[in-house]
Structure 1
Amino acid sequence: MTDVRPDVSTALSGSTAAGTASRLSPRQRYVQCLSPAGLHRVAYTEWGDPHNPRVIVCVHGLTRSGRDFDRFAAAMSATHRVVCPDVVGRGLSSWLENPNFYAVPQYAADMVTLIARLEVETVDWFGTSMGGLIGMALAGLKDSPIHKLLLNDVGPHIEPDALTRIAGYLGKPTRFATQQEGIEHAALLAESFGPLTADEWREINTPLLHERDGAWQFRYDPRIAQPFAAMTPEMAAAGEAALWKSFAAIEGPVLVVRGAQSDLLSHETVARMVEVGRNVSSVEIDGVGHAPAFLAPGQIAIARRFFTGESVDAS
């Protein structure tokens, strides 16, 4: 009788190869969320073992997408399950029926729904700019699911010059004859991310664009500018006070990363965050502004050391 059992080494090799391919390729998924105006879908990419209880949720900046974290997610996927949502109104996620809900409370509620979908008790959080604001709001709540929190170039206080810069482009109609024109325009808007190569800009900016009505356009809903434009000084002050209160209540470890040339997060704000927080450390990255892109191996290593419990420094 012929032995038809598979060779064990071959089977294991094939399994390992399949597992590695799965780990290094993102899985595109969606979760249904609720706003006062109705239901919407939040898209997310997931890396690593889908059953791994060690989860990092990576949340992007104001007009960006979850694909900004592809390199970091791939680097961490051997040890963690990495989940990178497109915040509602961005990327592959739905647009809200009522743009007035494009604000941190709605975003935080969506993230609670997403975390429930992941079926884990706690997650670590990597938030860039707006993603950090959402993380602070959520991490400061009683019984928050967030354990470790990395804040990439953001704090409770945002410098007025940065708000003016953002207002100058947010929601403005833009149409490009080619995809490459859109990639280059997005690179100009984000030039303070650092000295990225043309290939790196293409890598992180391509997911921001789609072809529609004979032209290339940004995927994000331009109406996200409406709540931003409607913000009064009194509303801004109240929001900042709420964020400082939330930040002071965060119990888990917090790492504040600042781009050395940032116009959004000042040295003074970082110093206050270290002072009022319970377990806060900080690191500054030379040669970049708002916000470090975390594409370079040295930047990825900073985040890796924080999430894996190793010491953190900028070297």
Structure 2
Amino acid sequence: MAEAKIKSVQCLSMAGLHHMAYKEWGDASNPDVLVCVHGVTRVSDDFDALAQSLCKDYRIVCPDVVGRGRSGKLHNPDLYRIPQYVSDMVTLLARVLADGEKQTVSWFGTSMGGLIGMGLASLPDSPVERLILNDIGPSLDGVALRRIGDYLSQELRFPSFEAGAQWVREVSKPFGEHTDAEWHKLAADVLRQDKDGQWSRHYDMGLAHPFRSITPESAERDQAMLWAAYDAIRCPTLLVRGEHSDLLSRETALAMTQRGPKARLVEIPGVGHAPTFMHDNQIAIARDFLLNQ
């Protein structure tokens, strides 16, 4: 079984320096690079199954976006926004691509990771040559955004790992059916024990700060900017939607097949926001798009 190496890169924000950790799978000399970026409260470990399956074909890089997992925190929580994340990924790619003369970059982004990928892929001279958007698009449901904001701002502590894992399982029901072992991993990846023996989610509570400042007017501006970014993308794009997603509507998904890169749409039945790509049938969707274009 392949194993990942844990590395880190130093990044810059307007408030100073911070480090971003990442897991790297596969041959470091492989010119075909796949970057996998997680959702808003998740971590790089979410992609272990996908990376295990594809690491013979790709050098796979899975960052913990700043404020999550093994990465550092931002000194100014108001900067926990897509532009900062895109900037960090440019720094990461400068590190990852430094040794190769001809390298290709593919991107797999779940939810927030997809928004980061859209931002990067839309830029002139972007290195992204293939893009997978996992249950995310330029139009975001307001009710779902408020749900995420409420979820982020809950400073929960659990008396035991089991109690925390049960909570993660309950709030993650939209992920769909998983085995007990898979639910255990999904919880273990994001729960950490503190010095008092309590368990909590492994992210900076400052992530909730930008959500508190969302207004109808700012949400409308953000949506217009996201659509402009999407329309500027020129690389082949796959859009994956959970059948019951409350964040990516089917109307938006269909619009994305007609605009910009005219994404190919695949819906996964029995799943909401967002497919975990822990299962062979979901991994096969990504494999087919990445290797059979």
- TM-score class, shorter-chain normalisation, is over 0.9
Superposed counterparts of 1:1-315, under 5 Å: 21=1, 24-119=2-97, 121-214=103-196, 215-310=198-293
Is contact 1:256–1:281 with CA below 8 Å preserved after alignment? yes
User: Which portions of structure 1, spanning 4 or more consecutive aligned residues, are displaced by more than 4 angstroms?
Assistant: none
Identity of aligned residues (%): 49
Distance in 1 between the 2:165 and 2:59 partners? 29
Structure with bigger RCO (C-alpha 8 Å, 6+ apart): 2
Give the match's secondary structure for 1:168: helix
Give the match's secondary structure for 1:210: strand
Give the match's secondary structure for 2:109: strand
Is contact 1:55–1:83 with CA below 8 Å preserved after alignment? yes
Distance in 1 between the 2:67 and 2:203 partners? 6
AA aligned to 1:258 is R
Residue 170 to residue 116, structure 1, CA distance change in 2 (3 Å): same
- The structure having more radius of gyration, on CA atoms, is 1
1:13-44: CA deviation from partner (whole Å, max 9, x where unpaired): xxxxxxxx5xx101111000000111000010
Distance in 1 between the 2:165 and 2:96 partners? 32
Taking structure 1 as the reference length, what is the TM-score of the superposition?
0.89
Give 5+ residue unaligned stretches, structure 1.
Answer: 1-20, 311-315
Taking structure 2 as the reference length, what is the TM-score of the superposition?
0.96
How much does 1:279 deviate?
4.0
AA aligned to 1:250 is I
AA aligned to 1:81 is R
Distance in 1 between the 2:173 and 2:89 partners? 28
Distance in 1 between the 2:242 and 2:209 partners? 28
AA aligned to 2:24 is E
AA aligned to 2:12 is L
How much does 1:202 deviate?
1.3
Is contact 2:256–2:262 with CA below 8 Å preserved after alignment? no
1:255-274: CA deviation from partner (whole Å, max 9, x where unpaired): 00000010111111011111
1:268-287: CA deviation from partner (whole Å, max 9, x where unpaired): 10111111123421100001
Two-structure CA RMSD over aligned residues (Å): 1.1
* Larger displacement relative to structure 2 (171-180 or 144-153): 171-180
